[in-house]
Each structure stands twice: as C-alpha cells, then as structure tokens.
Amino acid sequence: MVSTIPQDYRDRPVAVIGAGTLGRRIALMFATRGGLVHITDPDAAQGNRAVDWAMGELPAVAATVDGGTPGTITYVPEQKTAVAQAWLVIEAVPEHLDLKKTIFAQLDADCPPDAVVSSNSSSYASRLFTEGLKTNNRMLNTHFYMPPGSTVLDVMSNGHTAPEIIDFVLHTFPEYGLHPFLCRTESTGFIFNRIWAAIKREALEVVYEGVSIPQDVDEMFALNFGTKAGPFRMMDQVGLDVVLDIEQHYAKDNPNLPEGPRILLQKYIDEGRLGAKSGAGFYDDYPKPERS
C-alpha cells in the first residue's frame, strides 16, 4: 500500500470522535490555527456542550500558539459526515476495545484516502483494532494527556503505519502548539503513562490499605515535587471510570498487580463519584454538572 500525505491539510477539517473530557480538548488544540474542527458524538447534548466549552477557551489558547488564530469548532451528529473531508481523524471514545474496533472499521471505509486516522487510547495499542484494515498504513496512536494544560502526546505505530505518516505527524502537530514524542517500540501505556501508572497505582494502594487519605497524599506529593496537583486530584480530572478502565487493562496484561486500587476506584464509581465531570470524586469541590 502506498501512503499519501494530505498536502492541503490547512484547508481541510479535523474530525474528533468523542465529545468527552479529552475529545473536546483535542478539538480545541486543532482549532488554534484558524481551521475547522468537527466533533462527533452520538450524544448531541454532550457534543454541543463540548463545542461551547472549546469555543469559550479557544481565543486564550490560540494566543499561546505561534501563529495561532481562533478557528471554528462545530458539532456534527453523523460520524460519516464529520470525517468525509477530514485530513486528520482522532478517535477519543471510552477505553472499550470492541467499540474501538467498530469505529475503526467504519473509518476504514468512510475517511478520505489520504486522511491520517489515529486513536487517543491511553492504554490500547492501535494494532489491536486496525489489524487487517485496508488503510491501516495510515492509522496509529496519538495519545494526548490533558491539553491545553499538557501539550505532550505519544505517537506510536500500529506496526504497519507508513514511516512518512509518522514523520508527518511529528512535524505537523507542533504547528498546533503540541509536543509529540515517538514510542520507538510498541508499549502498553506508552511512555509517560507507564511511569504515571506506577505512581497512581501505589497512591491508590496506600489509601486502600488505610495508610493515608487522598488529600494528604496529594499535599505531600505537591510539596515534594513542586506540582500544583497530586495524583488523586489528577485522577479526578481524568475521570475515575476512565482510570478504572485503564487499570483493568493493565491487570489483564499483568495479573500480579495489586487489586486494591481497582476496588477503591470501583467504590467511588458505585457512589456516583466519577471525578470533576460528575461534581465529586476524591474531592467534592467541583461545579455540579449541567443537566441536559
């Protein structure tokens, strides 16, 4: 298969599939160069809230990007319509492998032949849901952390990704205020997330065992490392349901991991405490979510 680079990418939209916490933040970053970004999600209320949030943040974020100027972000209900002319499509749906397989099979058929198609998965290698697709040579992982606060992302081949696609992503994403780093071999958890997972998991285990409480762990972490937030506050921002999905995936790969962190996360989730997005998680000081 021969890969083609989307030479006219500045004149074409970016499509983001999923209007959750990370989807809307990814859309925000790709709207900082005056272009058009489509957000698509089966939940119209969530899609429109994502657009409202991202457009509200856009002027300030675009001002931090070299050559930046605010573009436009719109909600497009139908995935096929959202990706029809896109030069870049980023999947940012929950960490469920079957869902990702379904979406990538659809994208294989619906995307333009030169589009770059990537997954924001925080734990799954894209190989697991692109194997056998006819356009898998232009599919890969682009794992974002939490833009615009963190503009770092991992870039990882699916094992078939054309080298020119990898190079294109590494050289083009910085135009949007992003900092991509290449995973040089397949790695569950990519680069920084492997380091973060060990910190996060041990922090959860310390609280599960009753050794400490989330607030004290976070305060010690911030004082020792000079950060604004500790692991529990950061998990609240990601979403405890997302954190649990990731931990369960790691546990499938390594059955020797302690069970305590997953038990603790499930307890909070069962109480409806999903983190900042639900108004409460390990902390209770978040704005209550809007009712659709």
CB 120 within 8 A of CB 139: no
List the 88-91 sheet strands across, edge first.
72-75, 36-40, 14-17, 88-91, 116-119, 139-146, 150-157, 179-182
In the chain, what are the domain boundaries? 9-182, 192-278
Q: Which of 235, 166, 172 lies closest to 202, judged by CA?
A: 235
116 pLDDT above the threshold of 80: yes
What pTM was computed for the model? Answer: 0.81
Distance CA 247, CA 250 (A): 5
pLDDT of 174-229, one tens digit each? Answer: 999 999 999 999 998 899 988 999 999 999 999 999 999 999 999 999 999 999 99
Q: Which pLDDT value is given to residue 3?
A: 60
Q: Which two tokens stand for residue 58?
A: 């856009």
Q: Which two tokens stand for residue 172?
A: 């083009």
Q: Hey, do 9-182 and 192-278 end up sharing a CATH topology, with the first three levels equal?
A: no
Q: How far is CA 225 from CA 139, 140, 211, 222, 257, in A?
A: 37, 33, 20, 5, 26
The Cβ of residue 158 has, within 10 Å, a number of other Cβ atoms equal to 23
pLDDT of 170-188, one tens digit each? Answer: 999 999 999 999 999 999 8
Q: Which pLDDT value is given to residue 143?
A: 97
The Cβ of residue 264 has, within 10 Å, a number of other Cβ atoms equal to 19
Distance CA 235, CA 239 (A): 6
State how far Cα 241 lies from the chain centre: 14
**In which band, very low, low, confident or very high, does the pLDDT at 123 lie, cut at 50, 70 and 90?**
confident
Mean model confidence pLDDT for the chain: 95
Q: Which pLDDT value is given to residue 1?
A: 47
Distance CA 224, CA 40 (A): 41
For domain 192-278, the CATH class is mainly alpha
Task: Give CB contacts under 8 A, 24+ apart, made by 161-168.
Answer: 161/136, 161/137, 162/1, 162/3, 162/137, 162/138, 164/3, 164/5, 165/3, 165/5, 165/116, 165/137, 165/138, 165/140, 166/140, 168/5, 168/116
Beta-carbon-side half-sphere exposure of residue 36 (alpha carbons within 13 Å): 12
Distance CA 93, CA 18 (A): 5
- The mean pLDDT value for 61-84 works out to 97
| SS3 call for 18 | coil
pLDDT of 103-112, one tens digit each? Answer: 999 999 999 9
Bond before 261 cis per omega within 30 degrees: no
pLDDT of 250-268, one tens digit each? Answer: 898 889 999 999 999 999 9
**In which band, very low, low, confident or very high, does the pLDDT at 5 lie, cut at 50, 70 and 90?**
confident
Partners of residue 17 on adjacent β-strands: 40, 91
Q: Which pLDDT value is given to residue 118?
A: 98
CB 9 within 8 A of CB 36: no
45 pLDDT above the threshold of 80: yes
Partners of residue 86 on adjacent β-strands: none
- The mean pLDDT value for 120-132 works out to 93
- The mean pLDDT value for 43-54 works out to 98
Domain 9-182 classified CATH 3.30.70.580?
no
